[in-house]
């Protein structure tokens, strides 16, 4: 049982007295100066009216309204604390009064016509609970009786009964047991912050806190199996971890005791995960929203400071911060949570060794000449398709050359009803044929599917090997696929060799393909891909006759750009084939020669960077 007498005084959540002091400190570095300018501009705008327009004819409209409200209330409160200008406090309270007029919190309930406040506890409830918690905590010393009644009334009507109803043992909503989903962190984190903030005000707070803490802890414990990785990718890492870390930091501030979750090594390692899969602030990840612009949420800084991960702080500061006015109250929170390190960031030129990194359990990997500021970067996809927001994209990869994404794996860019329906895996952006993968008989990875991945050393060179044999599940007169594997091998002078091997019970068509939004010029045995500044030479070879072909994708939303597809496919039907792809930065000529002798494969590379020879077994070892 938590003793209320031992709780820290308000403000006791993740923005406490130290963070308020930082708010009042004039910013010295560029990203904080930019954040201050955005906060000044936004706060002046938000003062004008507590009523804002929000799009109703869109997916999860009420959640987007909740997020807009959180941005506005957080910005106004932190600007008030930063400037002592009472106009901002009054405007924040006016927004909260407007919130009390909302007839429904959940888009899901609204679509069902169910307006009961405890009908559901979904993402909107989690985000609204967080807004109420922060408002109560920061306003607490100055609250009037009327304002207390307003905030307590909102909590008692909506958040408290709904959370307790939908986390009751035996009657829980689905997200309570889905520990690898952002819903758990958002819903439990928001409820937990509200319980911490208002602990003394309602008798259910202890039970609410126990259930919320268990939920957030379960969410974070899943990091152990994934080596700190997150199967929903960097964008959803931001979402889930934002609420998980704000709750955990709030718990430590309020209870004045370290939270045991912070002792898990993979919790520290997860701070590097979105950085590893978002070179130059552009996600190169898999599943939904896998290729979106990315920048850190402010609590990423606070968590890195709490865990002493200075290298993460330096990498965060090195990123472009050009979207601080986006989907979160990042600008105001950054002014409060950025630790303002005195030491300069390390010289990025010092990290010159190639990086071959595989997140165990998750089986997503990175190959790069260095991190950060890679000249050649690949992210690769192993693992399973069974997690939230997953696609049929095992074996797929991204390639970035000199900060330009030249090979992309297509992902969802909008959400519609079919996105989360039983027919999700029929969507163009989710299917295997829009991934940079191996197709057998015109189909790719099935769903659900898994692969086995490992970091390997082959012929003195390091890489990542993925065995996806179990992922195809093609059967006609018995199982068709005897072996399907892919090897990503790092060569000298920033070259990557990709070797695909397929062995079948009966002959079929075998193909490997890649997608690009850059300019693609196909050639008889390869292609040249050029961006605005960078270029990538692609060279093909095969153990059987193959042909190059091109096509275009058909995105679900015709307003989305079409990607060019480069296809390397067998001319006829084959029972076994090895297809090789060389990725060489620049526009200089390059070629591959592949030969087989029994169970041994030899791949010879000729390029401006030199000549290489690699010997492999037929199982890509």
Handedness of CA 504, 510, 512, 515 (dihedral sign): negative
Helix segments in 13-122, DSSP class H: 17-23, 30-47, 61-83, 86-99, 107-112
Q: What is the pLDDT of residue 561?
A: 93
pLDDT recorded at residue 350: 47
Numbered ranges of CATH 2.70.98.70 in the chain = 354-617
Does residue 345 surpass a pLDDT of 70?
Answer: no
Fold classification of 354-617 is: Beta-galactosidase; Chain A, domain 5 (2.70.98)
Beta bridge partners of 485: 467, 501
Q: Where in the chain is the domain with CATH 1.50.10.100?
A: 20-339
* Cα–Cα dist 593/539, whole Å: 10
Asked whether the predicted pLDDT for residue 348 surpasses 80, the reply is no
The per-residue pLDDT for range 88-129, each reduced to its tens digit, is 999 999 999 999 999 999 999 999 999 999 999 999 999 999
Tell me which CATH code domain 20-339 carries. 1.50.10.100
Longest dimension (CA), the chain: 85
Q: DSSP 3-state assignment of 433?
A: helix
Q: pLDDT tens for residues 56-83?
A: 999 999 999 999 999 999 999 999 999 9
pLDDT at 342: 67
**Contacts by residues 236-240 (CB-CB < 8 Å, ≥ 24 positions apart):** 236/182, 236/288, 236/289, 236/388, 236/389, 237/270, 237/273, 237/274, 238/274, 238/294, 238/296, 238/297, 238/300, 238/328, 239/182, 239/185, 239/186, 240/181, 240/182, 240/184, 240/185, 240/186
Cα 399–514–493 angle (5° rounding)? 40
């Amino acid at each position: 049982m938590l003793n209320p007498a031992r709780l820290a005084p308000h403000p006791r959540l993740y923005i406490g007295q130290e963070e308020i002091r930082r708010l009042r400190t004039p910013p010295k570095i560029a990203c904080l100066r930019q954040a201050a300018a955005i906060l000044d501009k936004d706060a002046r705008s938000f003062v004008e009216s507590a009523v804002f327009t929000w799009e109703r004819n869109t997916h999860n409209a009420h959640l987007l309204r909740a997020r807009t409200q959180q941005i506005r209330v957080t910005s106004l409160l932190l600007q008030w604390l930063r400037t002592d200008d009472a106009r901002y406090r009054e405007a924040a309270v006016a927004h909260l009064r407007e919130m009390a007029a909302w007839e429904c919190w959940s888009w899901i309930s609204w679509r069902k016509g169910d307006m009961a406040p405890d009908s559901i506890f979904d993402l909107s409830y989690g985000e609204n609970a967080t807004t109420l918690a922060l408002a109560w905590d920061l306003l607490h010393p100055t609250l009037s009786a009327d304002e207390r009644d307003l905030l307590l009334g909102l909590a008692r009507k909506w958040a408290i009964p709904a959370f307790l109803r939908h986390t009751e043992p035996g009657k829980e909503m689905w997200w309570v047991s889905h520990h690898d989903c952002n819903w758990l962190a958002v819903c439990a984190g928001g409820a937990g912050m509200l319980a911490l903030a208002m602990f003394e005000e309602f008798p259910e707070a202890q039970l609410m806190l126990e259930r919320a803490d268990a939920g957030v802890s379960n969410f974070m414990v899943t990091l152990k199996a994934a080596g700190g990785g997150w199967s929903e990718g960097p964008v959803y890492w931001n979402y889930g971890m934002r609420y998980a870390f704000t709750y955990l930091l709030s718990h430590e501030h309020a209870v004045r005791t370290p939270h045991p979750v912070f002792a898990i090594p993979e919790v520290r390692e997860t701070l590097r995960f979105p950085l590893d899969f978002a070179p130059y602030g552009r996600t190169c990840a898999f599943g939904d929203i896998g290729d979106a612009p990315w920048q850190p949420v402010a609590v990423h800084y606070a968590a890195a400071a709490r865990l002493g991960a200075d290298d993460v702080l330096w990498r965060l500061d090195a990123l472009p911060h050009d979207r601080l006015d986006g989907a979160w109250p990042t600008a105001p929170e950054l002014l409060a949570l950025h630790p303002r390190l005195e030491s300069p960031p390390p010289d990025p030129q010092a990290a010159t060794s190639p990086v071959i990194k595989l997140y165990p359990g998750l089986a997503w990997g990175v190959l790069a000449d260095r991190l950060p500021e890679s000249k050649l970067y690949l992210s690769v996809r192993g693992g399973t398709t069974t997690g939230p927001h997953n696609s049929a994209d095992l074996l797929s990869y991204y390639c970035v050359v000199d900060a330009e994404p030249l090979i992309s794996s297509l992902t969802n860019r909008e959400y519609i009803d079919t996105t989360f329906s039983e027919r999700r895996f029929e969507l163009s952006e989710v299917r295997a044929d829009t991934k940079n993968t191996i197709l057998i008989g015109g189909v790719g990875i099935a769903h659900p599917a898994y692969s086995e991945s490992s970091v390997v050393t082959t012929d003195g060179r390091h890489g990542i090997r993925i065995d996806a044999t179990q992922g195809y599940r093609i059967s006609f007169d018995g199982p068709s696929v005897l072996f399907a594997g892919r090897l990503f091998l790092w060569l000298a002078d920033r070259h990557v060799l990709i070797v695909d091997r397929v062995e079948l019970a009966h002959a079929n068509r075998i193909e490997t393909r890649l997608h690009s939004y850059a300019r693609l010029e196909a050639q008889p045995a390869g292609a040249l891909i050029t961006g605005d500044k960078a270029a990538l030479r692609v060279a093909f070879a095969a153990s059987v006759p193959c042909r190059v072909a091109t096509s275009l994708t058909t995105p679900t939303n015709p307003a989305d750009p079409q990607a060019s597809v480069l296809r390397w496919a067998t001319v006829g039907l084959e029972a076994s084939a090895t297809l090789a792809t060389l990725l060489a930065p620049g526009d200089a000529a390059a070629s591959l020669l592949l030969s087989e002798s029994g169970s041994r494969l030899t791949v010879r590379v000729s390029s401006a960077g030199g000549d290489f020879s690699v010997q492999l077994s037929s199982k890509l070892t």
